[in-house]
């Protein structure tokens, strides 16, 4: 189920994006060519096949201008569209629609591209039992929105940041001296029975982590054979997640090893923008 859109985060991004586009003087071309209060009717269409996320950006962007314009949504977030499908119809001030156009298409296209990429991975691993998770490899300032887009694509959000979940990674282990020491130190700071995940790169490290009774292990950059062996070693004692170097070409094979989850930075750092366009209705 798709989570509710983060409207406050979306509004902040709309404001920043409009400021980039309009500068201190606004849309000088439209203001010169189009008379005030000129009415317009337009449609936002998908030029490719994909999953939609971020439709609330349309109304939010239009509302930032003095001349009124409104939108009627034909699809909701989480909907699949084909090339040529109409996503929304816009009407009202031509000046407002044209000034907001690129902000709307940039944000909606970016989030829909992530949702589309996620949906493709979810379909790819269907039947393996593995869920698809995102990572913290997000565009600076856009994490809340990109995580929402992953959810719209059928994925599962990992931790929001460094503040809301404990994940002991390789550098923590090096600085602590061992997995056991790192886990012991973390537990001194955590409430009893708090979830604790450890990243491991070898089966020996996995064995050490299992001796600590952790709640989850992140099997990082392991071969498919080692992933199978690792899942057998865990034997259901904790959550298993494969990560590192996972792409559309190898995700099915990795998910089929029996891990509970696969996490892909690819969902957010390499997803292609969904091609969208705004067309005037004559």
User: Which structure tokens are listed for 172?
Assistant: 């923590």
Task: State residue 193's pLDDT score.
Answer: 84
Residues 61-109 pLDDT 10s: 999 999 999 999 999 999 999 999 999 999 999 999 999 999 999 999 9
> Ramachandran region of residue 84, left (φ > 0), alpha (ψ -120 to 50) or beta?
left
Do the domains 128-269 and 7-122+271-280 match in fold? Answer: no
Tell me the pLDDT tens digit for each residue of 118-151.
999 999 999 999 999 999 999 999 999 999 999 9
Q: Give the pLDDT score at 192.
A: 85
Q: Is 102 a catalytic residue?
A: yes
Q: What pTM does this model have?
A: 0.95
> Confidence band (pLDDT; 50, 70, 90) for 3?
confident
**Domain residue ranges in the chain:** 7-122+271-280, 128-269
Active-site residue, 137 included? yes
Torsion of CA 227, 2, 166, 8, to 10 degrees: 150
Q: What pLDDT, on the 0 to 100 scale, is given for residue 127?
A: 98
- Which of 23, 104, 24 has its CA nearest to residue 63? 104
pLDDT, mean of residues 231-258:
98
From the candidates 199, 205, 208, 241, give the one annotated as an active-site residue.
199
Assess contact for 190 and 196: CB atoms under 8 A.
Answer: yes
Class of domain 128-269: alpha beta
pLDDT in tens, 160-190: 999 999 999 999 999 999 999 999 999 999 9
**What percentage of the chain exceeds 70 in pLDDT?**
99
Catalytic residue among 27, 77, 134, 220: 220
Residue with tokens 């977030």: 77
Output the CATH code of domain 7-122+271-280.
3.90.1170.20
Give the active site residue among 12, 102, 136, 187: 102
Grade residue 2 by pLDDT with cuts at 50, 70 and 90: low
Look up 199 and say whether it is catalytic. yes
Question: pLDDT tens across 12-30, in order?
Answer: 999 999 999 999 999 999 9
Per-residue pLDDT, 79: 97
Tokens, residue 272? 């292609």
Distance, in Å, from the CA atom of 94 to the CA atom of 178, rounded to the nearest integer, reads 63
Query: Is position 133 annotated as part of the catalytic site?
Result: no
Q: Which of 64, 136, 137, 252 is catalytic?
A: 137
Give the pLDDT band (50/70/90) at residue 213: very high
Q: Given the residues 169, 187, 228, 252, select the one marked as catalytic.
A: 169
Q: What letter would DSSP give residue 267?
A: H
Q: Express each pLDDT in 23-49 by its tens digit.
A: 999 999 999 999 999 999 999 999 999
Is residue 35 part of the annotated active site? The answer reads: no
């Amino acid at each position: 189920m798709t989570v509710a859109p983060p409207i406050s985060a979306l509004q902040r991004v709309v404001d920043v994006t409009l400021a980039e586009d309009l500068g201190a003087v606004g849309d000088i071309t439209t203001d010169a060519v189009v008379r005030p209060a000129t009415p317009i009717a337009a449609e936002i269409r998908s030029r490719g096949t994909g999953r939609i996320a971020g439709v609330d950006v349309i109304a939010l962007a239009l509302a930032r201008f003095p001349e009124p314009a409104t939108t009627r949504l034909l699809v909701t977030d989480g909907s699949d569209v084909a090339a040529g499908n109409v996503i929304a119809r816009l009407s009202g001030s031509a000046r407002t629609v044209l000034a907001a156009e690129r902000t709307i298409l940039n944000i909606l296209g970016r989030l829909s591209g992530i949702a589309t990429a996620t949906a493709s991975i979810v379909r790819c691993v269907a039947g393996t039992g593995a869920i698809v998770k995102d990572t913290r490899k997000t565009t600076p300032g856009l994490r809340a929105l990109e995580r929402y887009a992953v959810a719209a694509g059928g994925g599962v959000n990992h931790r929001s940041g460094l503040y809301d979940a404990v994940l002991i990674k390789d550098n923590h282990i090096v600085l602590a001296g061992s997995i056991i020491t790192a886990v012991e130190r973390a537990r001194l700071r955590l409430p009893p029975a708090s979830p604790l995940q450890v990243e491991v790169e070898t089966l020996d490290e996995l064995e050490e982590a299992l001796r600590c009774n952790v709640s989850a292990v992140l099997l990082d950059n392991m071969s498919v054979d080692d992933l199978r062996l690792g899942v057998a070693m865990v034997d259901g004692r904790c959550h298993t997640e494969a990560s590192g170097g996972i792409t559309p070409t190898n995700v099915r094979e990795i998910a089929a090893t029996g891990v509970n989850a696969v996490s892909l930075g690819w969902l957010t750092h390499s997803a292609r923008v969904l091609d969208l366009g705004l067309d005037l209705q004559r």
